[in-house]
Chains A and B, each alone.
Chain A
Amino acid sequence: MKSSSGFSKFFKVATGIAAGGPILIVLAIIIALLIDSIPVFRFQGFSFFTGMSWDMGNSYSTALTIHGGEKAAFGASFGILPFILGTLLSSLIAIVIAVPVALMTALILVYKVPAPLQRILSPAIELLAGIPSVVYGIWGILVVAPFVQYNLAPVLLHLGTIIPFLGGPIQTGFGLLTAGLVLAVMIIPIVTATTRDLLAQVPKLPMEGAYALGLTSLEGIRFIALPWIRRGLLGAVVLGWGRALGETMAVLMVSGGAANMPTNIYSAVTTMASAIAADLDSAMNDYTNMSVHAITGLALTLLVITLVTNMVARLLVRIGRKSSDMEVQA
C-alpha cells in the first residue's frame, strides 16, 4: 500500500511536469526569438517594420554595412513591410471570400438540409481542414493559378476602372489573389464547423416562436440565431484569420514569391511565414549572421501578430459561449 501510494505521488508529479510543457515551450520560443532578434533591431531600428526593401546584401563583398554598432553584408537592408502587407492582404482576401460562404453553408446545413444528408455533407466539408497545405499548394499551382490568370483576372480587370486595386497588369497568375483564394478554401471548413456548432446551441423555442409569429426562416435567423451567436461567430472568423496568417507552404507555392510591395491584386507577394521558409537557406550564407537575425525578427513579429489574433478569437468564442449559457439558465 505504502509503495503504491509513493508511486501515486510520483505519477501526480509527472502529470504536473507534463502539464507545464506547453507553457514552458511557449516561453522558450518567445525568449529565444527575442534574444536572437536583438541585433537586427539594433542594426535596422524601427524601419525594420516600416522599411520597404528586403535585401540580404552582397555576401561576396568584403565591405560591410555597419549601423547601430552591428555589422551586416554590404548593402543589406531589412525592411519587412512587404511581407507584413502580403500577409495582411492575402488573409484579408481569404476572410472576405470565406466568411460569407462559410456562414451561408453552415446556415443551410443546420436549417435546411435533412439530418441524414447533413451527416454526410458536414464531414465532407471538414475533410478540407485535414488536407495537407502542400496538397493545397499543388492544387493552387494546377487549378487556381491558371483559373485566376485566364478566367478570373480578365473579368476583374473590367472592374479595374472603378476599383483601382483590381486594375492590371495581370502577370503570371501567381500572386495575391491566388494566395487569397487558396487560403479562403483552407479556412472555409474551420469557420463552417465552428458556426455549425454555435448554431446548434441556439435554443429551439425562440426560433419556433419566431416561425409561429409568421417570420420567414431567413428572418428567424436574422433576428434570433445570428444575434445569439454573434460573438462566437466573430471568434470563429478571427480563428480562421489566425490560421490564414500563419499558413506557410500553400502560400509559398502560389504567391509568386516576390519581396516587393504589391501594386495590385495580381501582384506577386511573399507572406511573413513563407518568407521565413523561403529565405532561411540563403540567409545561412551571410557570414555576418545578420540575415538570420532578421529572419528571427520576422518570426517574432509573426508570432506576436498570430498570438494576439488567436487570444482575441478564443476570448470572443468563450464570451460567446458564456453569454449563451447564461441565457439558457435565465
Chain B
Amino acid sequence: MSMVSPNRTIFQSGFTANKNKRRSISLLFWSIAGILLILVLGIVVLILGTVVYKGLPGLTLTTLMTDTSGIAGGLENAILGTLVLIVASVVLSGVIGVLGGTYIAVFARPGIASVLRFATEVLAGVPSIIIGYFGYTVMVVQWGFGYSLLAAAISLGVLTLPYIVRTTEASLRQVPKTLYEGGLALGLTQEATLRKVMFRPALPGIFTGLLLAISIGLGETAPLLFTAGWSNFNPTLTLVHNPIAYLTYVVWTYSQEPYHAAHQLAYTAGLILVLLLLILNIGVRFLQRGSSQS
C-alpha cells in the first residue's frame, strides 16, 4: 500500500525525544482545538440568538394570520405558500425518488446502478440557482407555465430528488438481500416481496430522506426566485399562471427594504423558518435513533 508505516514517518520528520516539549506541543494543539470548538458552538448560538432576538417581537398571532400588503402586514400567505410548495414538491420528488432508489438498490445490475448513482450525485451537485434558472427558461417561458405553483414545485422537486433517491437506496441496501430472495423463493411476486419484506425495515430510513427533502425545500430561495414569483394573497391550487408566496422570499426581499416594518417581517419569517427546521431536525434524529435501535 501507499501508506507508509508510522515509524518511518516519525523518524523522517525529526522525531524529538524531548518528552516535555512534545507534551506541551500536544497540549497547545488541544487548547487551540478547544477554543475553536467553543468558537464554532458560539457561532451556532450567535446565529440562533440573532434570529430569535430580532424575530421574536414580530411573532404574533396577527402576523401569522394576516396577508402581506406592500412592505408590511403579516405572513399568512407566505407560510401557506411555503407549505403548499413543500407538499407539492415532496409528492413529486418522493414518488420518483423512492421508485428510482428502489430500482438502483434492487433491480439494477451493478454497472447500471453505479452509473445511475453517479448521475444522482451529479444532480445533487448542481447549484440551486441553476436549477431555478433552468426552471425559468424551460417551464416559465418555453412551456408557458408563467410564475406558478407547478414550475416552482417541479424546480424544488428536482433539487430534493437526489437526496430521496440516495436515502431510499441506502435504506433498502441495509435490508439483507437474502430476505428478498427468500420472499421470491416462497412464491411472492417481486412487487409483493418488496412491499412486505423489504420496505418495512427500510421505512424509517426512507422517511428520514423525505424529512431531509422537506427541510431542504423549506430553506431554499434560489430555485424559487424565478419560478414562483410572489403573491400578496393566499395560495390557490391553480397550477399555472398564478404566482405563489413563500417565506424565504420575505427574508430576502424585505431585508433589503429601507423600512423597519419590512425588516421586522423578514426577521420574523427567518425565525419561523428556523423553528420549523429545528422541529424537522429533531424529528430526523428521533427517527434515526429509532431505526438504529431496532
Residues of A within 8 A of B (CB): 4-5, 7-8, 11-12, 14-23, 25-26, 28-29, 32-33, 36, 100-101, 104-105, 107-109, 112-113, 121, 123-125, 127-128, 130-139, 141-143, 185, 188, 192, 206, 210, 214-219, 223-224, 227-228, 242, 245-249, 252-253, 273-274, 276-277, 280, 295-296, 299, 302-303, 306-307, 309-311, 314, 323, 326-327, 330
**B130 & A302 in contact (Cβ 8 Å cutoff):** yes
Q: How far is the CA of A247 from the CA of B129 in the complex (A)?
A: 8
Across-interface contacts of B36 in A (CB, < 8 A): 100-101, 104-105, 108
Q: From A217, which residue of chain B is reached at the shortest CB distance?
A: B26
B25-44 contacts to A, CB under 8 A, are 25-26, 29-30, 32-34, 36-37, 39-41, 43-44
**B3 & A22 in contact (Cβ 8 Å cutoff):** no
**B51 & A227 in contact (Cβ 8 Å cutoff):** no
- Given A125-B41, A138-B251, A223-B10: A327 and B3 interface contact (C-beta under 8 Å): yes
Q: How far is the CA of A327 from the CA of B220 in the complex (A)?
A: 41
**B252 & A249 in contact (Cβ 8 Å cutoff):** yes
**B3 & A23 in contact (Cβ 8 Å cutoff):** no
Nearest 9 CB-CB pairings of A with B: A246-B127, A132-B219, A310-B125, A18-B99, A15-B103, A23-B119, A19-B103, A19-B100, A216-B26
**B122 & A310 in contact (Cβ 8 Å cutoff):** yes
Tell which of B39, B123, B270 touches A26, judged by Cβ atoms closer than 8 Å: B123
- Given A4-B192, A219-B22, A246-B127: A138 and B221 interface contact (C-beta under 8 Å): no
20 A-B pairs, CB-CB below 8 angstroms? Answer: A12-B191, A19-B108, A25-B161, A26-B119, A26-B123, A104-B29, A125-B44, A130-B281, A138-B51, A138-B54, A141-B255, A185-B43, A246-B129, A247-B127, A295-B133, A296-B137, A299-B130, A309-B125, A311-B125, A327-B3
Across-interface contacts of A112 in B (CB, < 8 A): 30, 33-34
Tell which of B4, B137, B158, B280 touches A25, judged by Cβ atoms closer than 8 Å: B158
Across-interface contacts of A19 in B (CB, < 8 A): 99-101, 103-104, 108, 116, 165
**A105 & B40 in contact (Cβ 8 Å cutoff):** yes
**B32 & A104 in contact (Cβ 8 Å cutoff):** yes
Across-interface contacts of A121 in B (CB, < 8 A): 37, 41
Across-interface contacts of B50 in A (CB, < 8 A): 138-139, 142-143
Tell which of A26, A224, A242, A296 touches B6, judged by Cβ atoms closer than 8 Å: A224
Residues of B within 8 A of A (CB): 1-4, 6, 9-10, 19, 22-23, 25-26, 29-30, 32-34, 36-37, 39-41, 43-44, 46-47, 50-51, 54, 95-97, 99-104, 106-108, 115-116, 119-131, 133-134, 136-138, 158, 161-162, 165, 189-192, 194, 215, 218-222, 225-226, 248, 251-252, 255-256, 266-267, 270, 273-274, 277-278, 280-281, 285
**A109 & B37 in contact (Cβ 8 Å cutoff):** yes
Across-interface contacts of A206 in B (CB, < 8 A): 6
Across-interface contacts of B128 in A (CB, < 8 A): 246, 248
Q: How far is the CA of A214 from the CA of B41 in the complex (A)?
A: 32
Across-interface contacts of A137 in B (CB, < 8 A): 251-252, 255
Q: How far is the CA of A228 from the CA of B40 in the complex (A)?
A: 25
Across-interface contacts of B104 in A (CB, < 8 A): 19
Listed residue (B95, B127, B192) with the most chain A CB atoms within 10 angstroms of its CB: B127
- Given A277-B129, A303-B127: A125 and B270 interface contact (C-beta under 8 Å): no
Across-interface contacts of A218 in B (CB, < 8 A): 25-26, 29-30
**B191 & A7 in contact (Cβ 8 Å cutoff):** yes
**B122 & A299 in contact (Cβ 8 Å cutoff):** no
Q: From B17, which residue of chain A is reached at the shortest CB distance?
A: A214
Q: How far is the CA of A198 from the CA of B44 in the complex (A)?
A: 23
Q: How far is the CA of A264 from the CA of B13 in the complex (A)?
A: 38
Across-interface contacts of A143 in B (CB, < 8 A): 46, 50
- Given A249-B222, A276-B133: A142 and B54 interface contact (C-beta under 8 Å): yes
